[in-house]
């Protein structure tokens, strides 16, 4: 469930970001929509979008596994639960940072000259 939700949220955030960029460029800066769409097509490729969705799915899986592992092994009452939450946040952050670095490195090897 976490993988599905994180992938959907990633896609939704990408859509809102694109719409926000369009609104800012076309409405607020009085740019043309054609220029925005063309520059977006040049800089954002399908592999970029697919890798973002894949990262979102993997990040959701990592957060779910770490949170579940720590949560199911919490003991010692409310203090133990609080400590387990703190530990799971720290471990998840470190894993996400490491996995993001590795996935970006692999992506840049597979698609040289692209953004990650």
pLDDT in tens, 7-33: 999 999 999 999 999 999 999 998 898
What is the model's pTM?
A: 0.80
Confidence of residue 115 (pLDDT cuts 50, 70, 90): low
6: number of CA atoms within 13 Å, CB side? 16
Assess contact for 63 and 2: CB atoms under 8 A: yes
CA distances from 96 to 68, 81, 91, 110 (A): 16, 22, 9, 21
Would you say residue 116 has pLDDT above 70?
Answer: no
């Amino acid at each position: 469930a976490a993988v599905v939700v994180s992938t959907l949220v990633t896609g939704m955030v990408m859509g809102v970001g694109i719409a926000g960029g369009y609104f800012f460029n076309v409405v607020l800066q009085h740019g043309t929509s054609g220029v925005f769409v063309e520059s977006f097509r040049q800089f954002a490729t399908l592999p970029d979008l697919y890798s973002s969705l894949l990262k979102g799915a993997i990040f959701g899986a990592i957060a779910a596994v770490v949170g579940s592992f720590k949560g199911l092994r919490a003991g010692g009452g409310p203090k133990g639960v609080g400590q387990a939450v703190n530990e799971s946040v720290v471990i998840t952050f470190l894993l996400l940072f490491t996995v993001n670095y590795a996935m970006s490195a692999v992506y840049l090897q597979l698609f040289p000259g692209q953004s990650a």
